[in-house]
Amino acid sequence: MTTYTLNSLLPARSNGLAEIAFSGVSKSYGNKAAKSSQKVLQHVDLSVQRGEFVSLIGPSGCGKSTMLKLVAGLTSPTSGQICIDGMTPANAREIVSYIFQDATLLPWRTVEQNVGLRLELEHTTRERRQEKVAALLELVGLSHAAKSYPRQLSGGMKMRVSIARAMSTKPRVLLMDEPFAALDEISRDHFNEEILRLQQEQGWTALFVTHSVAEAVFLSTRVLIMAPHPGRIAHDIPINLPYPRTEATRQLAAFEDYITTISKTLRGVQSQ
């Protein structure tokens, strides 16, 4: 069997462009029946460099998921432009992966078949697919559950399958929409450390949505606080905590300070 190394998952070199760039992006959702439209995002400018981990936090309905859907090419801006490594979202689909809150596994497929789904769609050969899936399952600690079905897994295990599937096509950009919201605090802390370890190994750029300030601070190079009506980026806060981020990071006074400041800012945004 060919050895499948992590190096083969590493993305190609950057050409120096911002990995994700929003310029003057507005988004309205129309309601044809009511002949009306709702402005969800207004004039969003954002530049995310290669390898950054950027979290979006803000009140419900402020447009966080919409931001991710725009990058994934699942919806289009009403005005403005989005570039992913210089490409339109439609052309960048191959380098963008996403993980949503509910893990969205196919119940009739085993763990290994779920992980291999994107590879099948890419017409990867069966042999190569088996090798890749085995390596990915090892990466997320699920080799023992390869033949299980989603209904036989805990919430945390389902999330691991979802992560493995998202990693299967060497993402350059990983979009995560509240992926750990359903987990208990200890599992969530553990996943937070794991996801940073995976990013370290694989070098992708992350756009991450959460309602947890502590999670955003722990994971991020920058936290964007969004304000509603219409959705926009109200604050852009760099997180200068040292790496590697571990359990010890959570004990730092600076970690607590970031949480206090961001929570206060968030309360200000929410009361607007």
Q: State how far the alpha carbon of 173 is from the alpha carbons of 102, 106, 164, 243, in Å.
A: 20, 23, 14, 20
Site map for ligand ATP, 26-55, x if CB under 6 A?
---x----------x---------------
Give CA–CA dist 258/237, Å, rounded: 9
| 76 lies in the binding site for ligand ATP (CB under 6 A) | no
According to DSSP, the residues that pair with 38 across neighbouring strands are 29
| 79 lies in the binding site for ligand ATP (CB under 6 A) | no
Nearer to ligand ATP, 142 or 262 (CB): 262
Nearer to ligand ATP, 18 or 62 (CB): 62
Which range touches ligand ATP (CB under 6 A), out of 63-71, 78-86, 106-114, 194-202?
Answer: 63-71
The amino acid occupying position 59 is: P
Which residues in the 164-203 window bind Mg ion by CB under 5 A?
Answer: none
Select from 42, 65, 110, 114 the one that contacts ligand ATP (CB under 6 A): 65
Nearer to Mg ion, 18 or 174 (CB): 174
CB of 33 to ligand ATP, least distance (A): 12
Helices within 117-252 (DSSP H only): 117-121, 126-139, 155-167, 185-202, 213-219
CB of 69 to ligand ATP, least distance (A): 7
Kindly list the strands in the beta sheet with 36-48, ordered across the sheet, starting from the edge strand earlier in the chain.
Answer: 36-48, 20-31, 79-84
| 210 lies in the binding site for ligand ATP (CB under 6 A) | no
Residues 6+ away with beta carbon under 8 Å from 18: 47, 48, 49, 50, 83
Tokens of 109: 């497929």
| 110 lies in the binding site for Mg ion (CB under 5 A) | no
Nearer to ligand ATP, 100 or 149 (CB): 100
CB of 153 to ligand ATP, least distance (A): 24
**Angle between helix 155-167 and helix 185-202 axes, rounded to 10 deg:** 10
Q: Which of 155, 207, 150 is nearest to 181 (CA)?
A: 155
Give the interface with Mg ion as residue ranges (CB under 5 A): 65
Give the interface with ligand ATP as residue ranges (CB under 6 A): 29, 40, 60-66
